[in-house]
A and B are shown apart, each in its own frame.
Chain A
Amino acid sequence: MKYMLLIYQGTTPLPGTPEWDALSQEEQGAVYAAYGELNRTPGFTPGGEQMQHPETATTVQVKDGTTLTTDGPFAEIKEAIGGYGFYEAGDLDAAIALAAKIPAASMGGAIEIRPLVER
């Protein structure tokens, strides 16, 4: 099975924010270590490039031929996607176990596991 893991940041502190700076060195180190381990997990492919913060997003919709552009992500800031990755695993339980290890899952965010269509 192939899964896409969508990382919702929620209230997870992001580097470059005061909330992140408020974390201790150990806490920051643990987050980096956890992402490092995630990236080394067999079957896991990180989502390539790193996304800027959701505040920098622009949302485009076309209604009756008119392009509407709004500031911010489509969802609320807290519900915006902060990153993603792919995981090839035997079953959903393996994907759940990996998702639970992503720091955002335990720091105020959430991980959505989406099975991908196999071709």
Chain B
Amino acid sequence: MFREEWGRVLANLIGFLGDFDLAEEAAQEAFAIAAERWPRDGEPRNPGAWLTTTARNRAINRLNRDRTLLRKTRLLEVPDAVEDTMDEATFPDERLELVFTCCHPALSTDAQVALTLRTLGGLDTGEIARAFLVPEPTMAQRLVRAKRKIAAAGIPFRVPPDDVLPDRLTAVLAVVYLIFNAGYGGRNELAGEALRLGTALAELMPDEPEVHGVVALMLLHDARRDARFEGGDVVLLEDQDSSRWDREQIAAGRALLDRALALRGRGPYVVQAAIASLHADEPRDWHEIAALYGELSRLTGSAVVELSRAVAVAEAQGPEAGLAIVDGLELGDYHYLHATRGELLRRLGRVDDARAAYGQALELVHDDAERRLLVRRLAELTT
């Protein structure tokens, strides 16, 4: 309940004050008061409006006590305290303005991610630091610097105008998907956070197909989370126990994908979601998957996507055709390239070449679970 309200309350306060720090302090105070009173007196009828009113009044008190703080805000004078708890309609939802501020390209990607999790997700500095395996003081410094830059450089608090909106939206979606992927490696709370953020964005921007696309993609991936690990080891898609897939979530992902397609979405997230949807079918339509990877490859120009296409082509047309694509890629230091080569060479019966390829993959891999998978493959090859 608290976490759900945090982003909206904070966004409104930042919009009102024009200062992140003052807004955050006031929001924290309001949430602390709520934590004390609500269990005792019961929850107010409109919790979000109550929290916003209380936080605004806290900020106004603070400004009355220390008028020099007024310079940090966009206010010209200290406003009167808000008398009563207003209804929700009085406080506009400014989360969209906030997310575009946090994901402004003038901030580094690391800072965009941290700031988005802090302000919209309501994670505290320690939680974000642990999620990204960064010391807490480093994360605290990153947040301070980002907030300082927003103020000093005049990064606007608004939804960008149409001419720059597509680029800016791409940046926002990249941050959401990055948070999701950081969680996909096992840190579940981040994946859940990314889904919450994406869902909120989809509600706020219902006509943007790529927003529905990214949420569909996350839902479809997340539906396979339980089947993806076995005792800490990675289980490849073809070896997964599909009875452990979350069918409801797959259906929800597909519904969003349909919506994105109906909005004529053909962007990278929509295409990826379509591929993920095909991967949840049994048997899989590898020809269609290969064709969609081809489309994604044209959209992104990414060699990593070409590698995925090679895998699909190998399934559809045989390992020889897949290997021909893999061997044309310049991804020499990417362990998946060598692992894929190893697998295709194994299928072609070229055991020595396969062993060499897996060996190269092992030299490049960093993740322990991925390493164990490669060791297993290599052992299977020898027996």
Contacts and interface: CB of A to CB of B under 8 A. Distances in A.
A115 B154 CA distance: 8
Contacts of B160: 93
B156 interface: yes
A115 B153 contact: yes
Contacts of B133: none
Contacts of A95: 154
A113 interface: yes
B106 interface: yes
Contacts of B106: 92, 96
Contacts of B164: 93, 97
A113 B153 contact: yes
B251 interface: no
Contacts of A96: 106
B168 to A, nearest CB: 9
Contacts of B153: 1, 92, 113, 115
A76 interface: no
A90 B152 contact: no
Nearest to A93: B156
A82 B153 CA distance: 22
Nearest to A3: B154
Contact of B155 (A3, A89, A91, A97): A91
A113 B152 CA distance: 12
Contacts of A113: 153
A89 B190 CA distance: 38
Interface residues of A, number: 12
B75 to A, nearest CB: 16
B152 A115 contact: yes
B156 A91 contact: yes
Contacts of A89: 154
Interface in B145-171: 152-156, 160, 164
B113 to A, nearest CB: 20
A92 B153 CA distance: 6
A115 B153 CA distance: 5
Interface in A97-111: 97
Contacts of B156: 90-93
B206 to A, nearest CB: 24
B202 to A, nearest CB: 24
Nearest to B161: A93
A115 to B, nearest CB: 5
Q: Among B154, B155, B156, B160, find the residue whose CB has the most chain A CB atoms closer than 10 A.
A: B154
Interface string B70-111: 000000000000000000000000000000000010100000
A20 B211 CA distance: 45
Nearest to A96: B106
Contacts of B155: 91-93
A47 to B, nearest CB: 20
A95 B104 CA distance: 14
B369 to A, nearest CB: 42
Contacts of A92: 104, 106, 153-156
A89 B153 CA distance: 11
Nearest to B155: A92
15 contacts: A1-B153, A1-B154, A3-B154, A90-B156, A91-B156, A92-B106, A92-B155, A93-B155, A93-B156, A93-B160, A93-B164, A95-B154, A96-B106, A115-B153, A115-B154
Interface of B: 104, 106, 152-156, 160, 164
9 nearest CB pairs, A to B: A1-B154, A91-B156, A91-B154, A92-B154, A115-B153, A92-B155, A92-B153, A115-B152, A93-B156
Given A93-B155, A93-B156, A113-B153, 5 more contacts: A90-B154, A91-B154, A92-B153, A92-B154, A96-B106
